[in-house]
Each structure stands twice: as structure tokens, then as C-alpha cells.
Amino acid sequence: MTALLRFLDRSVRWLGTAALAVAAAFIGLLAIVGTADSFGTQIFSLPVPSALEMSQAGLAVVVFMGLAYAQRRRGHVTVDILFNRFTGRIKAAFTGLALAAAIFFFGFLAWRTGIGAFESVAIDERSWGLTRFPIWPSKIAVCAGCSIAMLESLRQFLHLLVGNPDAYDAHTPEDEAL
């Protein structure tokens, strides 16, 4: 079981880091497009065609590809006032309940966004802006981000089940390098 957990740790950590790298790249691209659009509009009266649509698709990629990293770092909203009053098995039970809910939630989102991405690819869905670029890649990225977040939640839940109380935090030296 520990070999399986180590494999799962490495695999999910790699996927989460790759997703975070994609999100970071999109942040850079959004900054470039936004800056070019602002300067082009204000100085040359020439906006970047479809900058709004590109920003919308890019923001979805940024948000959903960062979900697994936020889950790994326990960065999602929690009610600490109540949670910190618990100790031992009660705290572990509530943590398990929260992780089970996260697995269900991210799994449901991955399933539904996967259906949407599949349909988007089938019809070659494109934006309605001046430049009609495909938006199905961003829909695939949203599904991938939800899937990776579900795998991270599952990894944390399995660690909790085997009695590894701090492993679901997953704070390691390589995390600090990010």
C-alpha cells in the first residue's frame, strides 16, 4: 500500500505542478494580451482583435488548472474557528468528510466539463469575436484541472485513511521551490 501511495504522491504532484505551470503560462499570456490591448487602444486606437474572448478563455484555464495546487496546499476556504477546536479522531473524521466532499465535487465537475469539452470538440466550437479562435482547448483544460484536483483530494483522503495524519498537507521541500 505504501508503494502505491508513493507512486500516487509522485504522479499527482507531477500533474499538479504541470497544471500550475500551464496556469502560470496563461497568466503571462493574459498579461501580454491585456497590455497590448490597452496600449493599442489608448495610443494607436487599434485594439487587439478578440482580446476579451481570449481573456475569458484564458482566465478559465488559470482558475481551474490551479485547483489541484490550492488543494495540495490546503488553500481552499475552511472554517478554522470551528475546525481548530476539534482534536484526534473527530478532527480526522471531519477532514475525511471534507475530502470526500471535495472528491465528489471535483469529480462531478470533471465529468460535466468533460461532456462539455467533448461536445465542443465535436462541433469545433469557436469564439464569436472578430477573430474566431477555438475555445475547445480551454474547455479541455478546465476538465483536466478538475480531474487533477479530484486526484489530489483522493490522494489526501487515502493518506488520511492509512493513518498518515500530516500527509494530506503534502508540504515537502520541492513544494517550497514552487
Which residue stretches of 45-166 are H helix?
Answer: 51-65, 67-72, 80-83, 88-122, 136-161
User: Which pTM value belongs to this model?
Assistant: 0.87
Which of 9, 20, 113 has the alpha carbon at shortest distance from 66? Answer: 20
When pLDDT is cut at 50, 70 and 90, the band that residue 64 belongs to is: very high
- Which H or E run contains 11? helix 2-44
Cβ neighbour number for residue 70 with a 10 Å cutoff: 16
124-178: pLDDT as tens digits: 999 887 888 899 999 999 999 999 999 999 999 999 998 876 555 545 445 555 4
Cβ neighbour number for residue 82 with a 10 Å cutoff: 9
* Ranges of each domain in the chain: 2-176
pLDDT score recorded for residue 27: 97
**Maximum alpha-carbon separation in the chain:** 64
Mean pLDDT of 86-114: 92
